[in-house]
Amino acid sequence: MLRGVGVSAALMAAVGPALALECPERGGAHVNAAEWRVGVRDGQLSVAAGEERTSLLPETPLGIAGRVTTGRCACGSEDPRVHFAETTNKSPSSRS
């Protein structure tokens, strides 16, 4: 919404217990891979505890539509990036 009116805002979102932060490259919101494993099952994001977490969290579906990108980002980070599915809010009067 902010970008639509010319405000350059970065995305910060909760992905279950993990935090996803968008870098200036705007290539998705990074999730700390040492702490969390993010994935997708049936188009829905999931999260699990990463190798360095002392508490265990098995793969947990989040009910959030999206996808995950892996590999080096243009910013240099190797952390996975989440991309949330776009949603369209239509008022009842605009539906045909």
Residues 10-20 have pLDDT tens digits of 889 999 999 99
Q: Which amino acid is at 81?
A: R
93 band by pLDDT with thresholds 50, 70 and 90: very low
- Does the pLDDT of residue 87 top 80, yes or no? no
79 band by pLDDT with thresholds 50, 70 and 90: very high
Size of the chain, expressed as the number of residues it contains: 96
pLDDT digits (tens, 9 = 90+) for 41-57: 999 999 999 988 888 89
**Nearest Cα residue to 73 out of 35, 24, 37, 20:** 24
Q: Report the phi/psi class of residue 58: left, alpha or beta, with left for phi > 0 and alpha for psi in -120 to 50.
A: beta
The predicted model scores a pTM of 0.78
- Does the pLDDT of residue 96 top 50, yes or no? no
**In which residue are the tokens 């217990």 written?**
17
Nearest 5°: phi and psi at 48? -145, 160
